[in-house]
Amino acid sequence: MIDAELQRLSHEVRSLTAEGLALLAQTEVDTAPLRQALLDLEGPFLLVVAGEFNSGKSSLLNALLGQELLREGVTPTTDRIQLIAYGEEPRSKVLEPGLVALYLPHPLLKDVHLVDTPGTNAVLEKHQVLTERFLPRADLILFTTSADRPFTASERDFLQLIQDWGKKLVLVVNKTDLLNEEERREVLAFVVEQARRTLGLEPPVFGVSARLARDGGDGGVAALEEYIERVLRDEAARIKLGSPLGVLLQVSQAAARDLQKRKSSLAADRDTCKRLDALLARHQRRVREEFSGQTAQVASVVAQIRRRAASWLDETLRLGRIFDLLNASKIQKSFEAEVIGEAHRELERQIQASLSWLARSERDLLASALDLLKTTGGGQTTSGEETALSQEVFSALENYDPEAEARDLQGMLTSALQHTALAELGALGLGAGLAVVLHGLAADVTGVAAGLMAAVLGLSILPRRKRAAMRRIDEGLDKLQEELQAGLESTLEAELSATAGRFRGLYGEHCASLAEEEKLLQDLSQRLQELTSRAAALREELDF
């Protein structure tokens, strides 16, 4: 029977442990030790004997049980964990690989289960793993060290592991019969001091000789037995309740480290998203700047037409060619041959070159993004493997077809010019459409320059006709250049918008989820911090 206070504490421990299980299930840590700790609350008190091989663990258990029930030796004799429980007749049962239940007829085992573990040093390395796995289940740990080599470096490491799990600890210095009384005092004082340095506290320390106890003497075992009996009588319930809280705190610390790692990874992910956005912004600025250089070639072709037209007017609209001016057809052919020439084809080549350059620019963006992700790991790095995001970008780069994109851009340009004087480009094609427009300009200009009126009006009208013709040329070429420029700029912006949409589509969904994930991690961290505070306070109330 337990009193009301312990009943309350028992209820709070079970409730808090169950709450912790539910919370920790939302993290990526292994909660199996905590589930086992909750189950072990219903089981008997568990006293685990641990220590390096040949420290006398089995001989100590034999001394405590008062019988030669466990095999002893100078080499590692326990190659598996032995769970020692009460049984009317001695027998053993394999519970799982590396774990054997040993049933012995000893009254002490009705109240407590003993656990004999393999050596904790590297000689039996695979069994050390089993030992460390079993530590979370312990209620009280008797850690044995040998008087002839007390408190080795590996023992200090193992004691730190015990402390991490928050276990009640008793240090047993075995084989004290090898020492005289002064040496015994020195060794025990040394162990106490080393425990204080390692653990920050002074656990109970007992010097014993299991050999003397086995031979009928006391060997200091009686004092240890008395201590264990007092613990079982006065403290067992509180120790039992404190055990899952220690496991809860240890697993929670692991979860907190995991959450911090995930936050760091998330921060790297968010930084990658920002860098990808910045890369896209730089790409758009660069393309706008460099595309103006591409379209300047179109303006250069128009300027050449303008210069040829001015020269043609100077040469044609003069008194010496007055009879040629009477023949409008001849004048138009002259204008087309000497001014227009192959200008439509040159314009077509320059426009297509600009559109091809623009189409290739997206491939450059994807290549830059892939380099960035390989450098940063994309915040999702897995050892030696490309990230999923890198694979997405790589696939987009591999499948990108700049020629097909250039054809699409030409369609965009045609659409942009649909409601302008250059609408013919849509029906006739780029080159043919430009030819129609330029030949129309030729007809318009030579209509002004030629005709019978030139002969009738004579010399005084020629300068005016020349100025009027040049105005027509300037107006026509200005309009051609403006509409081509406007169409190309419209195509540029449409392509930049489409590129941005496709590019953000590679990482946008992932990046959009980061804020929600960050909020979830922050909430988990906050709740976990509150849980560990409550667990620590409850352990303190249990006098831990």
The CATH number for 207's domain is 3.40.50.300
30 within domain boundaries: no
In a domain, 12, yes or no: no
- Provide the token pair at 116: 């004999």
Domain identity same for 269 and 242: no
Percent of the chain surpassing pLDDT 90: 36
The domain containing residue 121 runs over which residues? 44-249
Choose the final residue of a domain: 189, 218, 249: 249
* 8 Å CB contact between 481 and 299: yes
Is residue 260 within 8 A of residue 266, CB to CB? The reply is no
One domain for residues 92 and 240: yes
Q: How many residues does the chain have?
A: 544
Question: Would you say residue 18 lies in a domain?
Answer: no
Judge contact between 263 and 521, C-beta under 8 A. yes
Q: Are residues 492 and 468 in the same domain?
A: yes
274-327: per-residue pLDDT in tens? 999 999 999 999 999 999 888 888 888 888 888 887 887 777 766 555 555 556
Of 322, 309, 347, nearest in space to 468 by CA: 309
Give every CB contact of residue 495 below 8 A, 6+ residues apart in sequence.
358, 359, 362, 409, 412
Q: Are residues 93 and 233 in the same domain?
A: yes
In a domain, 117, yes or no: yes
Q: CA 75 → CA 52, 71, 124, distances in Å?
A: 11, 11, 11
Of 106, 128, 138, which Cα lies nearest the Cα of 51?
128
284 and 163 inside one domain: no
Instruction: Check whether residue 285 and residue 196 sit in a common domain.
Output: no
Pairing of strands 91-96, 99-104: antiparallel
* Per-residue pLDDT tens listing for the chain (544 residues): 457 888 899 999 999 999 999 999 999 999 999 999 999 898 889 999 888 877 778 888 888 887 666 655 443 445 678 889 999 988 989 988 778 898 988 888 888 899 888 766 544 454 455 566 778 889 999 999 999 888 888 888 888 888 888 888 999 999 999 999 999 999 999 999 998 988 888 899 999 998 888 878 888 999 998 999 899 888 899 999 999 999 999 999 999 999 999 898 888 888 999 999 999 999 999 999 999 888 888 888 888 888 887 887 777 766 555 555 556 677 777 777 877 777 778 888 888 899 999 999 999 999 999 999 888 765 444 433 347 888 889 999 999 999 999 889 888 888 877 766 565 555 545 555 565 666 666 666 565 555 544 444 455 555 676 677 777 777 777 888 888 888 889 999 999 999 999 999 999 988 888 888 999 999 999 999 999 999 999 999 987 5
Question: Measured between alpha carbons, how far is 370 from 389 in angstroms, rounded to an integer?
Answer: 9
* Residue 518 lies inside a defined structural domain of this protein: no
For residue 304, CA distances in Å to 91, 285, 307, 309, 515 come to 107, 29, 5, 8, 56
Nearest C-alpha neighbor of 353 from the set 427, 295, 400: 295
Q: Report the pLDDT value the prediction gives residue 386, as an integer from 0 to 100.
A: 46
Are residue 159 and residue 229 in the same domain, yes or no? yes
Burial 350-369 (b: 16+ CB within 10 A, else e): bbbebbbbbbebbeebbebb
Retrieve residue 220's tokens: 């200091």
Domain boundary among the residues 195, 223, 249 is at 249
Give me the number of domains the chain comprises: 2
Amino acid (one-letter) located at 439: H
Flag whether 10 is in a domain. Answer: no
Same domain, 307 and 404: yes
